Amino acid sequence: MSVRTHTPDTVEVVAFLDDLDEIKLHAGDPSLGEIVRSAKALQDKALLDLPVPSVATLSRLFTGTAVPKWQTVAVFLRACGIGHQEVEGHWKPRWVRLKGGPEAAVRPGADYVAPTCPTCTTATMPETVVSPEHRSHLAVVPA
């Protein structure tokens, strides 16, 4: 498990990255090369449609304190055996919150585009984080 410096503004990010460390450990603590090979095998079986990051990119998941790109997180999780529904339903909303909420996800250059409210076109999140101003006009489906 990696050791990261905790500051008030990085506590949630570090917790997210520490949880990724735990996923790796529960997957048998594969090397980063093994994770890349697993991701490529998922691509070959058409079970993964994201580009596979390099070993160097994956290593930043375990050495940094910044929120990594979504595709890096998603590929890592899938290669460690986490199912698509858990990746999309649990991990993606956490990642979006860390990146600054749904508004951050629709900024130019974002690597994930949050769904938008059909009434007001504001970026939205699953039920657990839908803001009160959208509850009145948003048909929320439980996450």
Rounded Cα gap, residues 36 and 64, in angstroms: 19
3 vs 73 pLDDT, higher one: 73
CB 57 within 8 A of CB 47: no
Task: Provide the 3-class DSSP secondary structure of residue 143.
Answer: coil
Q: What is the mean pLDDT of the chain?
A: 75
pTM, whole model, 2 decimals? Answer: 0.67
User: What's residue 140's pLDDT?
Assistant: 40
pLDDT in tens, 97-120: 888 765 554 444 444 444 555 555
